[in-house]
């Protein structure tokens, strides 16, 4: 257990040009061309919707509404967040989609869809990679690996997203680093009320 410092350090600002590729002096060198990436983005979207529909049908649920975006930077392959109401956001990392195409569609897409369905069925308090999520991965016939094994050594770790958490007294916005530690079992306590921070909305981030 660790207690949460009063203030989190402000993130440094990453220039937009380096955020696009994550590394290197020449952004165009490792940036996939729109022509090569566009069909993959379309495939990822189509596969996301197909899996969502088949899982929802399997469990007798209405298909959850999702917004699919291919704008995740950094080293994560995908991310799921719930917006207000019943709309979910599924985000994919275009750099990793471009590099791993088929494998990304075969493993990362079902991984994220399983998060949506698990949270949709069981609410935000479940373990992100717990039995509910693993059961859906089993349904998809995909091994329930928590983390991708793509080489991301050239991608920046910095992720400027903030993740909403709450305790007994207030809401907290945590960095992706703390958010990932909590997802792996670390606990953070609010200094004011002493309660453990829990996600304010359902998120799964990989």
Which residues are known to be catalytic? 112
| Closest residue by Cα to residue 108 from 81, 148, 75, 150 | 148
Minimum distance between the CB of residue 18 and Zn ion, rounded to whole angstroms?
26
Q: Which is nearer to Zn ion, 23 or 173 (CB)?
A: 173
Tally of CB atoms within 10 A around 50: 12
Minimum distance between the CB of residue 54 and Zn ion, rounded to whole angstroms?
19
Q: Which is nearer to Zn ion, 28 or 186 (CB)?
A: 186
Minimum distance between the CB of residue 52 and Zn ion, rounded to whole angstroms?
16
Minimum distance between the CB of residue 28 and Zn ion, rounded to whole angstroms?
31
Q: Which is nearer to Zn ion, 24 or 123 (CB)?
A: 123
108 and 137 in contact (C-beta within 8 Å)? no
φ and ψ of 151, to 5 deg: -75, 115
204 belongs to the binding site for Zn ion (CB under 5 A): yes
| Partner residues linked to 53 by β-bridges | none
Cα–Cα dist 186/178, whole Å: 9
Q: Which of residues 167-196 bind Zn ion (CB under 5 A)?
A: 167-169, 190, 192-193
Cα–Cα dist 196/4, whole Å: 10
| Binding string, residues 139-168; x marks residues near Zn ion by CB under 5 A | ----------------------------xx
Q: Please enumerate in sequence order all residues whose Cβ is within 8 A of that of 88, keeping only pairs 6 or more positions apart, or say none.
A: 64, 65, 66, 67, 80, 81, 82, 116, 119, 120
Q: Which is nearer to Zn ion, 21 or 116 (CB)?
A: 116
Question: Total residues contacting Zn ion (rule CB under 5 A)?
Answer: 8
Tally of CB atoms within 10 A around 89: 15
Which chain residues interact with Zn ion by CB under 5 A? 167-169, 190, 192-193, 204, 206
């Amino acid at each position: 257990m660790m207690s949460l410092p009063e203030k989190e350090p402000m993130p440094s600002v990453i220039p937009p040009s380096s955020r696009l590729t994550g590394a290197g002096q020449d952004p165009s060198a490792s940036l996939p061309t729109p022509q090569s990436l566009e069909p993959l983005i379309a495939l990822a979207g189509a596969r996301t919707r197909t899996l969502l529909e088949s899982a929802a049908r399997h469990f007798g649920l209405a298909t959850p509404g999702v917004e699919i975006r291919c704008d995740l930077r950094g080293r994560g392959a995908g991310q799921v967040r719930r917006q207000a109401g019943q709309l979910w956001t599924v985000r994919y990392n275009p750099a990793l989609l471009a590099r791993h195409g088929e494998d990304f569609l075969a493993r990362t897409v079902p991984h994220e869809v399983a998060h949506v369905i698990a949270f949709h069925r069981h609410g935000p308090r479940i373990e992100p990679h717990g039995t509910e999520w693993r059961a859906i991965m089993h349904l998809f016939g995909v091994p329930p690996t928590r983390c991708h094994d793509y080489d991301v050594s050239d991608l920046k770790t910095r992720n400027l997203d903030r993740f909403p958490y709450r305790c007994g007294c207030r809401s907290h916005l945590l960095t992706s680093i703390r958010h990932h530690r909590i997802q792996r079992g670390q606990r953070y306590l609010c200094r004011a009320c002493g309660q453990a921070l829990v996600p304010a909305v359902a998120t799964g981030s990989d």
